[in-house]
Structure 1
Amino acid sequence: MASALPQKRLSPEEYLAIERDCETRHQYYRGEMFAMSGASREHNLLATSLSAEIYNALRGKPCEVYSSDMRVKVPTTGLYTYPDVVVTCEKPRFEDDHFDTLLNPQVVIEVLSDSTESYDRGRKFEQYREIESFRDYLLVSQKRPHIEHYTRQEDGWLLTEARDLSGSISIASIGCTLKLADVYAKIEFPEDTGPEEGSGIFRS
């Protein structure tokens, strides 16, 4: 039996050349490309709603809101990825003159899916924290009205949560408040949408 040949590792430049000519989006890390799976109806509705609510709140301010087609690079680790929503109120910095790879996100939002939740909470968040400009991380459930908000502090990350449609999340770094009733306006939940176990605020 012939042995399998090792897969060729791609340089970042090779990845970007392929990615810019590809209809399917891929993450890139340590020489490998990883195809991103399609999103559910609820996932798409939430990502669109979040982008629209933040855009409207920041209208007239020197801020830019990007949807899931804006690639973000973590310079210290070499990860290229596509958050669901990205916001920066700084002058945006890009990797090159294609202006499609952002280097200085302030706010990153991920809509949680069964296949990606562990990664979004763990290794991905760990890498995002390497970005100097990164201040706020929001994890948005598509199964129930629930948003977790991690805010950078001098001594770690502060978690606050909103767990029902009467709640809201304040993103002080960009001067924006998200009302869950607006974010989840088009999402239908099963009758059992009671709060999950555990609540409160902690530092990580």
Structure 2
Amino acid sequence: MTAQAASNHFITEQEYLDGEQHSEVRHEYIDGQVFAMTGASDLHGLILNALAFALTPGARRKGCQLFTSDMKLRLELGGQTLFYYPDLLLSCDPQDRDRNFRRAPCLIVEVLSPSTARIDRREKLLAYQSLPSLQAYLLVEQERRHVELYRRANGWRVEHYESGSLPIDCLDMPLTLDDIYIDVPPA
């Protein structure tokens, strides 16, 4: 999904959290500024649902919590407070249970679109890698069968997949590209 500037007005973290509880539009928060999130395509939704369906059994087995699009991630980066809405967030830390956000995910997934790809590959990649708990960051293309997997185990080097399966380390399970793209019509 895409973030669009809501205004140049700065608000506090608490004002942001209070506002999000009553807002019909979700917003990301970057150190006092809020950015409205736009809607997603049908392919985005199909891919995200397929990911959640494929990962849920492993998440339940491990006692993890899996969220799609509606759980905020809170980060502290360079003295700034940030709140993002990852497309998919997996938290396995039993101490990471705030009702409004998570701080310690082990997996984050973003489904790329032309309007979000640059932010997801740069800004969010760097921000997410600052999380000590994060083991993997997965970027999923919508328009073609291709995923990029950044893994802490590899010193945050990227691995590219167009077929087969990729490791989901924090769940000790593989995830196949067939599972990710099962509901996407052939091109």
Note the 1:54-93 alignment, pairs <5 A: 54-76=55-77, 77-93=80-96
How far is the alpha carbon of 1:153 from its aligned partner?
3.6
Shift of the 92–50 alpha-carbon distance from structure 1 to 2, 3 Å rule, reads farther
Amino acid paired to 2:157? L
Cα distance in 2 between the residues matched to 1:131 and 1:61: 20
Q: Give the CA deviation at 1:57.
A: 3.0
- Bigger share in strand: 2
> How far apart, CA to CA, are the structure 1 residues paired with 2:173 and 2:87?
17
Counterpart CA distance in 1 for 2:107 and 2:51 is 12
Distance 1:176 1:182 in 2: 13
Structure 2 residues not aligned, in runs of 5+: 1-6
- Separation in structure 2 between the aligned mates of residue 111 and residue 153 of structure 1, nearest angstrom: 22
Secondary structure of 1:58 counterpart: helix
**What amino acid maps onto 1:45 in structure 2?**
L
How big is the shift at 1:7? 3.9
Is the partner of 2:170 in helix, strand or coil? coil
Q: In 2, Cα distance between the equivalents of 1:142 and 1:7?
A: 32
TM-score of the aligned structures, taking structure 1 as reference length = 0.82
Is contact 1:113–1:142 with CA below 8 Å preserved after alignment?
yes
What does residue 127 of structure 1 align with? 127
Residues 62 and 171 in structure 2, CA contact (< 8 A), matched pair in contact too: no
1:160 corresponding residue in structure 2:
159
1:187 aligns with 2:180: no
8 Å CA contact retained: 2:43, 2:142: yes
Distance 1:88 1:33 in 2: 24
Q: 1:146 to 1:33 in 2, by over 3 A?
A: same
Question: Does structure 1 residue 37 correspond to structure 2 residue 34?
Answer: no
Q: Larger Cα Rg: Structure 1 or Structure 2?
A: 1
Q: How many residues align?
A: 179
Aligned residue in 2 for 1:114: 114
Classify the secondary structure of the residue corresponding to 2:29: strand
Q: 1:91 to 1:162 in 2, by over 3 A?
A: same
Aligned equivalents of 1:78, 1:158: Cα separation in 2: 26
Question: In 1, are the aligned partners of 2:13 and 2:32 still within 8 Å (CA)?
Answer: yes
Percent identity of paired positions between Structure 1 and Structure 2: 34
C-alpha distance in 1, partners of 2:173/2:82?
28
Q: Quote how far apart the aligned CAs of 1:144 are.
A: 1.1
Report which of the two has the higher share of helix: 2
For the aligned residue pairs, the C-alpha RMSD in angstroms reads 1.7
Q: Which amino acid aligns with 1:159?
A: V
Structure 1 residues 81 and 120, CA, compared in 2 at 3 Å: closer, same or farther? same
How far apart are the structure 2 equivalents of 1:132 and 1:172?
15
The amino acid across from 1:174 in the alignment is L
Q: Give, in angstroms, the shift of residue 90 of structure 1.
A: 1.9
Deviations 1:106-144 (A, max 9, x none): 100000011000000001111111211111000001111
